[in-house]
């Protein structure tokens, strides 16, 4: 059996399973990503060849890139709350406080436990900084709706955080590449990095997202020529067109495409919040996202068995365990202190910083744009893959009961401030 045969098998199994499994595991301490990752690991024990992300780096980079941008469009379309300093306070705190704390602590863990140089430890931390509630659907906002239970503070903050930090992780990844390329002990890269990679590229990404979203929002809902008013035709594949337009325009303009896609989606939602077309767009992106996610997790499972876990050291495993069980929960809780959420919501939000497909993309991207990490390539893939594996199983098994209990407690007695 060749690798292409294995890919077809994974694609077919994933497509069928993506339609059936979510209904089987609904409201159980299981998740679709858990099952597909486990199946991939079982298949990896057979003679089926596993995808090697080192040898197939470019393919892995673009497959994960596609999955991330589709999920960002779906996340932005699902959020109904208008963007504001107060309404999005939880997300701003997770991005502005918790994310830098997580990166700093993970960098320190990588340097101390693994003995890696600063650039490699920073790359590991930056790659693992994005969160991904797609891998535990219970902790994200569902389809576009006005249901208050579907946009409570926990679900909203985690979804908004994931939508934005997939783009905001890029400056830290680029910082690691700059440090690795700079002469030892010098910091000449810092000024250019802050001006271009932080300020300019974020601003361009946001600007492209706003402009694209407004143009598409006008076109979807208010264009006078009926042929352009796509909301009347209710075709869901238009969401993919909007995703690609926003991403391509931002990247060609020198901005962050991930950020532009999410901002575009939020702007389209704001153009006509109560229109049923949002459900059609979101439903289509969710289907594509589900297919891509289960496909990639199936292949990730095979890689873990064939290459990832055999290459993993106990120090690398400890870094992943610390990030999932200690660093993110502590940093998340610290960032949310004083933000107006109750202690129950604060604890759950902090604990469910799920690692996923975005981490795989960033690592493939970084290794393709710098040769300075060649000595650590296998270990980087092993640690990142193990961390995603741990997060998928730990968070996937606990998300449903935890969120269900939180919903019951919130309905019976609102949490104290």
pLDDT in tens, 244-254: 999 999 999 99
The confidence score (pLDDT) of residue 221 equals 85
As a whole number of angstroms, the distance between CA 31 and CA 201 comes to 36
The confidence score (pLDDT) of residue 417 equals 47
The confidence score (pLDDT) of residue 396 equals 85
* Listed range (61-65, 98-102, 224-228) with the worst mean pLDDT: 224-228
Higher pLDDT, 213 or 273: 213
pLDDT in tens, 292-348: 888 888 889 989 998 889 999 999 999 999 999 999 999 999 999 987 778 888 999
Higher pLDDT, 372 or 247: 247
Q: Taking a C-beta distance cutoff of 8 angstroms, is the pair 66, 58 a contact?
A: no
The confidence score (pLDDT) of residue 370 equals 85
Long-range (24+ apart) CB contacts under 8 A made by 104-113 are 105/327, 105/330, 105/331, 106/319, 106/322, 106/323, 106/327, 109/318, 109/319, 109/322, 109/323, 109/327, 110/319, 113/315, 113/318, 113/319
Q: Kindly tell me if the per-residue pLDDT of 273 is higher than 90.
A: no
Higher pLDDT, 122 or 189: 122
Q: Kindly tell me if the per-residue pLDDT of 150 is higher than 70.
A: no
Q: Kindly tell me if the per-residue pLDDT of 414 is higher than 50.
A: yes
Q: Scanning the structure block, which residue is given the tokens 């208050």?
A: 148
The confidence score (pLDDT) of residue 231 equals 75
The confidence score (pLDDT) of residue 224 equals 79
The confidence score (pLDDT) of residue 277 equals 84
As a whole number of angstroms, the distance between CA 212 and CA 268 comes to 9
As a whole number of angstroms, the distance between CA 175 and CA 171 comes to 6
As a whole number of angstroms, the distance between CA 71 and CA 292 comes to 10
As a whole number of angstroms, the distance between CA 19 and CA 71 comes to 17
As a whole number of angstroms, the distance between CA 360 and CA 384 comes to 7
Mean pLDDT of 220-232: 78
pLDDT in tens, 45-78: 876 667 788 888 898 999 999 999 999 999 999 8
As a whole number of angstroms, the distance between CA 167 and CA 21 comes to 30
The confidence score (pLDDT) of residue 226 equals 75
* Listed range (13-17, 139-143, 345-349) with the worst mean pLDDT: 13-17
pLDDT band at 416 (very low <50, low <70, confident <90, very high): very low
Q: Let me know how long the chain is.
A: 417
pLDDT band at 25 (very low <50, low <70, confident <90, very high): low
As a whole number of angstroms, the distance between CA 180 and CA 202 comes to 22
CA 77 to chain centroid, in Å, comes to 15
pLDDT band at 24 (very low <50, low <70, confident <90, very high): low
The confidence score (pLDDT) of residue 407 equals 81
Tokens of 268: 């389209």
The confidence score (pLDDT) of residue 22 equals 65
Q: Scanning the structure block, which residue is given the tokens 């209904």?
A: 23
Q: Taking a C-beta distance cutoff of 8 angstroms, is the pair 36, 30 a contact?
A: no
Mean pLDDT of 384-408: 89
Q: Taking a C-beta distance cutoff of 8 angstroms, is the pair 403, 51 a contact?
A: no
Average pLDDT, the chain: 87
The confidence score (pLDDT) of residue 146 equals 58
As a whole number of angstroms, the distance between CA 255 and CA 247 comes to 9
Tokens of 311: 């290459």
């Amino acid at each position: 059996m060749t690798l292409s045969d294995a890919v077809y098998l994974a694609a077919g199994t994933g497509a069928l399973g993506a339609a059936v499994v979510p209904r089987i595991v609904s409201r159980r301490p299981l998740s679709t990503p858990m099952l597909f990752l486990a199946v991939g690991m079982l298949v990896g024990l057979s003679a089926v060849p596993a995808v090697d992300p080192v040898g197939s780096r470019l393919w892995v980079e673009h497959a994960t890139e596609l999955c991330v941008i589709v999920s960002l469009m779906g996340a932005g379309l699902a959020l109904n709350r208008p963007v504001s300093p107060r309404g999005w306070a939880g997300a701003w705190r997770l991005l502005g406080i918790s994310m830098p704390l997580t990166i700093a602590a993970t960098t320190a863990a990588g340097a101390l436990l693994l003995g890696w140089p600063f650039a490699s430890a920073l790359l590991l931390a930056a790659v693992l900084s994005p969160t991904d509630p797609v891998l535990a659907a219970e902790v994200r906002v569902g389809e576009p709706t006005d249901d208050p239970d579907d946009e409570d503070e926990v679900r909203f903050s985690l979804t908004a955080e994931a939508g934005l930090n997939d783009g905001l992780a890029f400056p830290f990844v680029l910082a690691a590449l700059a440090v690795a390329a700079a002469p030892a002990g010098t910091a000449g890269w810092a000024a250019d990095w802050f001006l271009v990679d932080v300020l300019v590229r974020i601003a361009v990404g946001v600007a492209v997202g706003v402009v694209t979203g407004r143009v598409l929002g006008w076109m979807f809902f208010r264009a006078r020529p009926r042929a352009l008013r796509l909301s009347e035709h209710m075709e869901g594949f238009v969401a993919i067109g909007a995703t690609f337009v926003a991403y391509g325009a931002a990247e060609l303009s020198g901005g962050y495409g991930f950020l532009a896609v999410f901002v575009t989606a939020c702007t389209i939602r704001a153009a006509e919040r109560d229109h049923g077309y949002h459900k059609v767009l979101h439903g289509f992106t969710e289907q594509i996202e589900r297919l891509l996610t289960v496909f990639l997790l199936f292949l990730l499972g095979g890689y873990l068995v064939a290459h990832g876990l055999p290459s993993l050291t106990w120090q690398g495993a400890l870094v992943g365990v610390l990030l999932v069980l200690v660093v993110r929960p502590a940093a998340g809780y610290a960032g949310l202190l004083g933000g107006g959420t109750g202690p129950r919501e604060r604890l759950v939000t902090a604990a469910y910083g799920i690692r996923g497909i975005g981490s795989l993309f960033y690592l493939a991207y970084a290794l393709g744009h710098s040769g300075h990490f060649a000595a650590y390539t296998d270990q980087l893939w092993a640690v990142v893959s193990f961390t995603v594996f741990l997060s998928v199983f730990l968070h996937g098994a606990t998300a449903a009961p935890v969120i269900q209990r939180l919903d019951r407690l919130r309905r019976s007695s609102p949490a104290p401030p």
